[in-house]
């Protein structure tokens, strides 16, 4: 009983947590709802459209996670510098993000422009899909990529601004900019996909163009609001007078950040490779997976936001030197996260038989999506625990451990498992999905061992 009480916070704890996490939940919730509506609109164009968009989103998923990983090292320092009131330190971390983001975005842009069609082809299996379906899916994916590739640059600028604002306690402007962006995306999706109000009917290309417009609006809003309110965001004052970063700080961020960069790249690449193994069973599977993941995002927003709260709250406590307080808060946040996620998983299971049927696609695809959702609903609490564990280890600067915990596990366990089952067994796709997803129980056991030792909790800012 005493141990259980230690996992429950007081009113002040929950008030602090809710005030921090609610804007992120609202932003991510609206984002997921808009993504669902976008997905339904694209889905109205047929299975080839859903599959083509899903393929392109897979390698943009790798890009986005690589950016996230590259910025994560600087984010640790932003939180801890802010925790001790060092504005210059926050400014240097922000500059690091800008420099890193521009380098990676430029590389990704040319990679997708030159080799985009080759990457798309990796997801199309001639043995399980007809030539007509392959050609239609390839055409849809190429149309979607044509415009989406230009969004790499505004995406990184937004991430640099919004991430630093959150790490310094300002979650309002990132939330508002995200909401504005999503509304722009939703409206122009409708206009450009279907050719409304005199605009041309562009199909999946219209969906990509709408996303690009939304990202440009989001970047403009978040940067302008940060400058307009620079008294509340002093890190931005003089941030671009120079891009100079003291060498000791640069090396420290780089040293801590490289494992996180490698982690996110390898993890996202391995996850994308797992998706390719699912796609090996046919484009119908890819379409169903896209539908189920889009729906489940609505139910994942809570534990995703709670992961960010771990990084911010625990990171600030560590930066202030309150090691034991950080450990105590971390336990309570994780307990709250897992408990609420159990109820969210139940809600997802109840919704699973109905929501996929809003899509205009084959009954087989909708039924597959429902089955995927049942598995995701069951696994939701373990996903929440693993997500919080990752951010706990990251907050304490244990970046090499997060590398082992996250990406090495995905590369050496999840991907080989999916690859072997898809190519060398006759197991059904749902059984395959259950086995690969269930491997996360092993990951959760490893994470629990790291947390219980407690040596993750360290102050790393100088």
- The predicted-structure confidence for 214-240, as pLDDT tens digits, reads as follows 999 999 999 999 989 888 888 888 888
Q: Residue 406: which H helix or E strand, with range?
A: none
Residue 3 has pLDDT above 80, yes or no: no
Tell me if the pTM is above 0.85: no
Listed by start position, the domains of the chain span 2-453
- The predicted-structure confidence for 101-159, as pLDDT tens digits, reads as follows 999 999 999 998 988 888 888 787 777 667 787 888 889 989 999 998 999 999 999 99
Q: How would you class 365 by CB atoms within 10 Å of its CB: exposed for 0-12, middle for 13-18, buried for 19 or more?
A: buried
Residue 462 has pLDDT above 60, yes or no: no
Task: pLDDT band for 44, please (50, 70, 90 cuts).
Answer: confident
User: How many of the other CB atoms lie within 10 Å of CB of 117?
Assistant: 12
Residue 57 has pLDDT above 80, yes or no: yes
DSSP sequence for 6-25: TT---HHHHHHHHHHHHHHH
């Amino acid at each position: 009983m005493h141990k259980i009480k230690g996992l429950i916070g007081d009113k002040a704890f929950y008030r602090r947590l809710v005030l921090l996490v609610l804007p992120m939940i609202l932003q991510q919730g609206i984002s997921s709802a808009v993504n669902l509506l976008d997905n339904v609109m694209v889905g109205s164009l047929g299975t080839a459209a859903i599959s083509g968009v899903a393929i392109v989103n897979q390698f943009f998923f790798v890009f986005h996670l690589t950016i996230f990983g590259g910025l994560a090292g600087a984010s640790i320092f932003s939180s801890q510098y802010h925790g001790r009131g060092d504005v210059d330190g926050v400014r240097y971390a922000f500059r690091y993000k800008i420099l890193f983001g521009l380098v990676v975005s430029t590389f990704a842009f040319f990679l997708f422009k030159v080799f985009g069609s080759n990457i798309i082809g990796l997801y199309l299996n001639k043995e399980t899909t007809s030539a007509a379906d392959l050609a239609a899916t390839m055409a849809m994916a190429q149309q979607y990529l044509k415009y989406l590739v230009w969004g790499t640059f505004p995406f990184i600028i937004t991430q640099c601004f919004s991430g630093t604002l959150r790490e310094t306690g300002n979650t309002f402007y990132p939330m508002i900019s995200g909401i504005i962006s999503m509304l722009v995306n939703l409206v122009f999706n409708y206009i450009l996909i279907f050719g409304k109000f005199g605009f041309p009917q562009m199909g999946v290309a219209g969906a990509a163009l709408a996303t690009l417009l939304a990202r440009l609006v989001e970047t403009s809003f978040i940067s302008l609001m940060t400058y307009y309110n620079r008294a509340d965001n002093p890190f931005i004052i003089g941030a671009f007078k120079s891009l100079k970063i003291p060498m000791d700080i640069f090396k420290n961020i780089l040293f801590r950040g490289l494992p996180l960069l490698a982690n996110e790249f390898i993890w996202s690449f391995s996850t994308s490779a797992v998706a390719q193994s699912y796609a090996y069973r046919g484009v119908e599977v890819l379409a169903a997976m896209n539908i189920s993941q889009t729906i489940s995002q609505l139910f994942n927003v809570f534990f995703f936001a709670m992961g960010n709260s771990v990084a911010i709250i625990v990171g600030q406590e560590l930066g202030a030197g309150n090691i034991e307080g950080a450990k105590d808060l971390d336990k309570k946040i994780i307990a709250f996260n897992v408990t609420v996620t159990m109820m969210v998983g139940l809600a997802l299971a109840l919704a699973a038989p109905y929501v996929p049927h809003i899509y205009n696609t084959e009954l087989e695809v909708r039924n597959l999506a429902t089955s995927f959702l049942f598995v995701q609903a069951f696994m939701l609490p373990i996903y929440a625990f693993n997500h919080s564990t990752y951010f706990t280890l990251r907050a304490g600067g244990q970046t090499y451990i997060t590398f082992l915990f996250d990406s090495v596990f995905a590369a050496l366990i999840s991907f080989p498992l999916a690859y072997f089952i898809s190519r060398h067994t006759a197991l059904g796709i749902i059984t395959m999905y259950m086995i690969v997803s269930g491997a996360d129980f092993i990951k959760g056991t490893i994470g629990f061992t790291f947390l219980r030792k407690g040596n993750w909790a360290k102050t790393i800012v100088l």
